[in-house]
Amino acid sequence: MTPFDPFIEFGFLRRALLGCVALSLSAPPLGVFLVLRRMSLAGDALSHGMLPGVALGFVVFGLWLPGLALGGMLAGLLIALGAGALARGTGGREDASLAALYLTALAAGVAIISWRGSAVELTQILFGSVLGVDDPALLLMAGCASLTLAFLAFAWRPLILECFDPAFARAVGVRGSAWHLSLLGLVVLNLVAAVQAVGSLMAVGLMMLPAIASRHWSRSVGGMVAVACGIALSASLLGLGASFHLDVPSGPSILLSAAAIWAISVVAGPVDGLLARHWPRRHLSG
Partner 1 sequence: MSLAVRNLTVSHDRRPAVHHLSFTLRRGGLMAVVGPNGAGKSSLLRAIAGLHSPAEGEIVAEGRVALLPQQAGLDRSFPLSCREAVMLGLWAECGGFGRIAEDGRVLRALEAVGLSGFAGRPVGSLSTGQFQRLLFARLLLQDAPVILLDEPFNALDARTAADLLALVRRWNGEGRTILAVLHDLDLVRDEFPETLLLAREAVAVGPTEEALSPANRLRARRMAEGWDPHAEPCARAA
Least distance from C-beta 229 to partner 1, angstroms? 16
Interface of this chain with partner 1, residues 137 to 156, rule: CB under 8 A: 154-155
**Alpha-carbon torsion 81, 101, 117, 44, what sign?**
positive
Does 36 engage in binding with partner 1 (CB under 8 A)? yes
Shortest reach from residue 117's CB to partner 1, in Å: 43
Stretch that binds partner 1, among 15-23, 50-58, 63-71, 158-166 (CB under 8 A): 158-166
Q: 222 to 241, contacts with partner 1 by CB under 8 A?
A: 223-224
Closest separation in Å from C-beta 213 to partner 1: 14
Q: From CA 52, how far away is CA 28, in angstroms rounded?
A: 24
* 161 is a site residue for partner 1 (CB under 8 A): yes
Q: How far is the CB of 170 from partner 1 (least distance, A)?
A: 5
Nearer to partner 1, 116 or 170 (CB): 170
- 213 binds partner 1 per the rule CB under 8 A: no
Q: Which of 160, 181, 259, 264 binds partner 1 (CB under 8 A)?
A: 160
Query: How distant, in Å, are the alpha carbons of 23, 95, 278 from that of 228?
Result: 12, 25, 24
Stretch that binds partner 1, among 80-88, 103-111, 171-179, 202-210 (CB under 8 A): 171-179
> How far apart are alpha carbons 203 and 50 in whole angstroms?
11
The stretch among 51-59, 107-115, 118-126, 161-169 that binds partner 1 (CB under 8 A) is 161-169
The reply to whether 178 sits near partner 1 by the rule CB under 8 A is: no
The pattern of x and - marking residues 64 through 103 that bind partner 1 according to CB under 8 A reads: ---------------------------x------------
Which residue, 86 or 122, is less far from partner 1 as judged by CB?
86
Distance CA 62, CA 54 (A): 10
CB of 36 to partner 1, least distance (A): 7
Binding mask 187-206 for partner 1 (x = CB under 8 A): --------------------
Q: State the residues that interact with partner 1 by CB under 8 A.
A: 36, 91, 154-155, 157-158, 160-161, 163-168, 170-172, 174, 215, 218-221, 223-224
